[in-house]
């Protein structure tokens, strides 16, 4: 079997089954396990999958830079944003992550909402500058240009002075085994620091992020109150999350 044919077969398994187990794929294709692992390494280097122990998972399309993500699954993100905006109750303090879904949440907040929003995203803060009754607290730090958010030691120091009711967390992958993941190690650490400053953390996850994975873990699934998503409940990856005890908050 030619390398291109092997890659196509592995991609087919990835799409239909949601993961590739190297040992099983080797038996199915009549190849050595070393050959499958080498193919998966090359596919991962080309951005076609995310390597994990024993095989690979679908790669998340949300690892593109901020400009690239603005045109990805716009309607899905808007559905998730409208549902997530309902979690920001009057009189509460909410931490709102960066990213395109978080920006949609900021725009979806009711015009008469009185609440405080803490954010490390300049774009979210700018959107909320137009809101008449939401107080905005901006956390400073080094600007991570890929996601247009602040990060680093200054951000962690500023966040330590905050205690919020809820954190609306953005990630690039939500997987029953890999957990909540993102594409940058420092950004993952920033998200963990913010999660520690809130009573409840809810994940913003439009359908294309469900069942996908990125290189760096943010949190295990049992540390969040729920995943706000528009994924079909019958989707195998969604069923795996439900079976793992993860509350899925439906965004219609």
Q: DSSP states of the chain as a string?
A: --HHHHHHHHHHHHHHHS-EEHHHHHHHHT--HHHHHHHHHHHHHTTS-EEETTEEEPBPGGGS-HHHHTTSSHHHHHHHHHHHHTTS-TT-EEEE--SHHHHHHHHHS-TT--EEEEES-HHHHHHHTT-SSEEEEEPP-EEETTTTEEESHHHHHHHTT--EEEEEEE-SEEETTTEEEES-HHHHHHHHHHHTTEEEEEEE--GGGBT-B-SEEEE-GGGSSEEEE-S-TTSHHHHHHHHTTPPEEE--
What is the rounded average pLDDT for all residues in the chain?
89
pLDDT score at 222: 94
Residues of the chain with CATH 3.40.50.1360: 66-250
Q: Is the pLDDT of residue 229 over 80?
A: yes
Q: Is the pLDDT of residue 69 over 60?
A: no
Residues of the chain with CATH 1.10.10.10: 3-59
Average pLDDT of 107-113? 96
Query: Rounded to two decimals, what is the model's pTM?
Result: 0.81
How sure is the predictor about 227, in pLDDT bands with cuts at 50, 70 and 90? very high
Q: Is the pLDDT of residue 187 over 70?
A: yes
The answer regarding whether domain 66-250 maps to CATH 3.40.50.1360 reads: yes
Inter-residue contact 38 to 44 (CB < 8 Å): no
| Percentage with pLDDT > 90 across the chain | 57
**Of the candidates 212, 198, 207, the residue with the CA atom closest to the CA atom of residue 229:** 207
Integer Cα distance of 129 and 248 in angstroms: 31
Integer Cα distance of 249 and 252 in angstroms: 10
Q: Is the pLDDT of residue 107 over 80?
A: yes
* CATH tag, 3-59: 1.10.10.10
């Amino acid at each position: 079997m030619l390398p291109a044919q092997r890659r196509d077969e592995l991609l087919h398994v990835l799409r239909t089954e949601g993961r590739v187990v190297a040992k099983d794929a080797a038996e199915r294709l009549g190849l050595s396990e070393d050959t499958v692992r080498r193919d998966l390494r090359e596919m991962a280097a080309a951005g076609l999958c995310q390597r994990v122990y024993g095989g690979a998972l679908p790669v998340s399309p949300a690892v593109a830079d901020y400009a690239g993500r603005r045109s990805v699954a716009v309607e899905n993100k808007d559905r998730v944003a409208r549902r997530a905006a309902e979690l920001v109750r009057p009189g509460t303090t909410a931490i709102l992550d960066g990213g395109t879904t978080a920006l949609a949440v900021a725009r979806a907040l009711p015009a008469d909402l009185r609440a405080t929003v803490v954010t490390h995203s300049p774009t979210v803060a700018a959107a909320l500058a137009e809101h008449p009754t939401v107080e905005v607290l901006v956390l400073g730090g080094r600007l991570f240009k890929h996601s247009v958010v602040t990060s680093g030691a200054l951000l962690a120091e500023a966040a330590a002075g905050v205690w919020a009711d809820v954190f609306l967390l953005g990630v690039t992958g939500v997987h029953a085994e890999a957990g909540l993941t993102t594409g940058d190690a420092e950004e993952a650490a920033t998200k963990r620091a913010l999660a520690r400053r809130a009573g409840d953390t809810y994940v913003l996850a439009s359908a294309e992020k469900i069942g996908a994975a990125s290189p760096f873990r943010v949190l295990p699934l049992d540390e969040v109150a729920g995943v706000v998503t528009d994924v079909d409940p019958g989707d195998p990856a969604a069923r795996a999350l439900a079976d793992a005890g993860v509350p899925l908050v439906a965004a219609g």
